[in-house]
Amino acid sequence: MADEAEPVTELRLGRFHGGLRLEPNKTLSTELPLKSAPIPPRLVHPLNQHAGASSEPMVEIGERVLRGQPISSPTGFISAPVHAGSSGTVVAIETHPVAHPSGLDALCVVVETDGEDEAYAGYPAIPEFATLSPIALRARVRDCGVVGLGGAAFPTAVKLNAAGALNALILNGAECEPYISCDDTLLRFRAHDIASGARIMLHALEVGRCLVAIEDDKPAACEALAGAVARLGDPRIEVVRVPAIYPEGGERQLITVLTGEEVPADGLPADIGYLVHNVGTAAWVARAILAGEALHSRIVTVTGRGVVQPQNLEVRIGTPIADVVAACGGYTEHARHLLMGGAMMGFSLPSDDIPIIKKTNCLVIGTAEDIAPRGPARACIRCGECARACPAQLLPQQLYWHARADDFDKADAMNLFDCIECGCCDLVCPSHIPLTRYFRYAKSQIWHNERDRVKAERAKRRHDQREARLEEARAAKRRRLAARTRALEAGTARETGRKAAIDEIMQRAQEKKDAGDGGGEA
């Protein structure tokens, strides 16, 4: 790749604050080529696999579904449908354990597969994507359930909507977290999809430049993508090698590295003219448009010393983890821990009955020695190491005091919500304080209090309206009563008047009679 068409650009790179150079541990899973995992007998599709509102089931028990057929519909703007991972019959719509740190159950559509893997034909392929309007492209991406595959699973269609003019689209292939190699694998084996997806995204966003960031410890990935871009001959797409520092894959950190600019704390990348999508998302955008396929599978890294053959597999969404591990030769006898996500930001799962979802990038099966014993937390010695490591330029030590004291307003005022929970501060803390856990706790408490506040406000409004209505009803009743009393009084007055008149007439008549009688006598 030394010819002139080489699209690998050498940019003058910026540097984000903090971060750590970590042992990547990626070669464990990158020795074997990409393989497809077998279709399991049962697929469990959670209805909320994305950021935003959950989706609603739109199939019935007993219905036959095809691969890529929608089985649920989005319930809001920020929401996404879920599609069947393979063809089969819906056997249940029920709660099932899902991949979530809470370990709670959520509503899932369970499909018993029939092994035929018949494809759904509801989305025609659009090879000439440039003939479509950006609006139509977005609608297709939304219908196909494409969400950010880097881990946050934010609905892609929403993020393919540039509010203003953009400088560049950034595709994130800087897979910085130790152990994870699914984007690296995708870049090496599906580079053409990524490059095509980049062109579609450029068209949808009406942008003229795309930067694909790949860490410099993945030369094969870089070369594969540069080759694919050269074959497409699109000068708008540039491949950029970036140094491997954790957490460079963070959206804001990557922008700083590539452009030297910083996204404002209360702003979005689009505010400074950039939009970041994961390379996996770009590949699925290409498949949704060019092949008419809905998101029904993804590449998952299965790694760690607790699995017989660590590797990257293309797995159907909804496949139980147990089936994925079995496809990798099963557990070794030393397997002790199951994590979803990487070594830094992943969370442990209580069982392997949980299905793979759209945001599952990695499964780490660790042995007892892998989880390095860490002493109990000791007192903070105010060394400031955490602030030096923090890629968001926060003061973890201060945030920790406030979170520990449940002083959430102060933590919020110190930009707690800019924390990306990368875990760098935890790792450098000499006192082994689980800082990130405190921040997660504080964030979720703030959300919880906010929900309570909104609910209380609504209750108060309804109570006040009811009081006002009752008061109005009472006032109306009083007015009615008063009117009736007046009417009665007026009636009595008239009656008395008439009676008096009658009496008077009677009296006059009597007097006349008396007078007549008297006259007769006289």
Which residues make up the interface to other proteins (CB under 8 A)? 22-23, 25, 48, 98, 100-102, 104, 106, 178-179, 304, 337, 339, 343-348, 364, 366, 369-372, 374, 376-377, 423, 426-427, 432-434, 436-438, 440-441, 443-445, 447-448, 451-452, 455-460, 462-463, 465-467
3 Cβ contact list (under 8 Å, min separation 6): none
Q: Quick one: 134 or 434, whose CB is closer to other proteins?
A: 434
CA angle 35, 39, 44 (to 5 degrees): 120
Contact 238, 7 (CB under 8 A): yes
Q: What does the DSSP 8-state code read for residue 379?
A: -
**Backbone angle region of 304, left / alpha / beta, with phi > 0 → left and psi within -120 to 50 → alpha:** left
Q: Quick one: 25 or 185, whose CB is closer to other proteins?
A: 25
CB of 470 to other proteins, least distance (A): 10
CB of 173 to other proteins, least distance (A): 21
Q: Token match 């990306």: residue?
A: 420
Residue 228: phi and psi, rounded to 5, are -65, -40
CB of 433 to other proteins, least distance (A): 8
Q: Quick one: 22 or 39, whose CB is closer to other proteins?
A: 22
CB of 84 to other proteins, least distance (A): 22
Q: Both tokens of residue 229?
A: 């871009």
Q: Quick one: 211 or 420, whose CB is closer to other proteins?
A: 420
Neighbours of 211 (CB within 10 A): 25
Q: Both tokens of residue 328?
A: 């990798």
CB of 430 to other proteins, least distance (A): 12
CB of 400 to other proteins, least distance (A): 10
Neighbours of 247 (CB within 10 A): 25
Q: Quick one: 125 or 371, whose CB is closer to other proteins?
A: 371
CB of 333 to other proteins, least distance (A): 18
Rounded to whole angstroms, what are the CA distances from 293 to 48, 205, 284?
20, 21, 8
Q: Quick one: 454 or 515, whose CB is closer to other proteins?
A: 454
Q: Quick one: 229 or 343, whose CB is closer to other proteins?
A: 343
Number of alpha carbons in the 13 Å side-chain half-sphere of residue 205: 32
Contact 397, 416 (CB under 8 A): no
Rounded to whole angstroms, what are the CA distances from 168 to 57, 277, 362, 413?
37, 11, 29, 32
Neighbours of 502 (CB within 10 A): 10
Cis before 41 (ω within 30): no
Contact 132, 112 (CB under 8 A): no
Beta strand ranges found along 432-506 (DSSP E): none
Point out which residues pair with 168 in neighbouring strands: 274
CB of 226 to other proteins, least distance (A): 30
CB of 171 to other proteins, least distance (A): 26
Nearest CA to 27 among 219, 241, 223, 251?
A: 219
Number of alpha carbons in the 13 Å side-chain half-sphere of residue 354: 23
Q: Quick one: 269 or 396, whose CB is closer to other proteins?
A: 396
Q: Quick one: 466 or 508, whose CB is closer to other proteins?
A: 466
CB of 416 to other proteins, least distance (A): 13
Q: Quick one: 168 or 424, whose CB is closer to other proteins?
A: 424
Nearest CA to 140 among 198, 184, 80, 188?
A: 80
Point out which residues pair with 111 in neighbouring strands: 43, 90
Point out which residues pair with 246 in neighbouring strands: 20
CB of 126 to other proteins, least distance (A): 36
Neighbours of 114 (CB within 10 A): 14
| CA–CA gap between residue 176 and residue 349 (Å, rounded) | 22
CB of 497 to other proteins, least distance (A): 44
Q: Quick one: 120 or 331, whose CB is closer to other proteins?
A: 331
Q: Quick one: 167 or 431, whose CB is closer to other proteins?
A: 431
Q: Both tokens of residue 398?
A: 């201060």
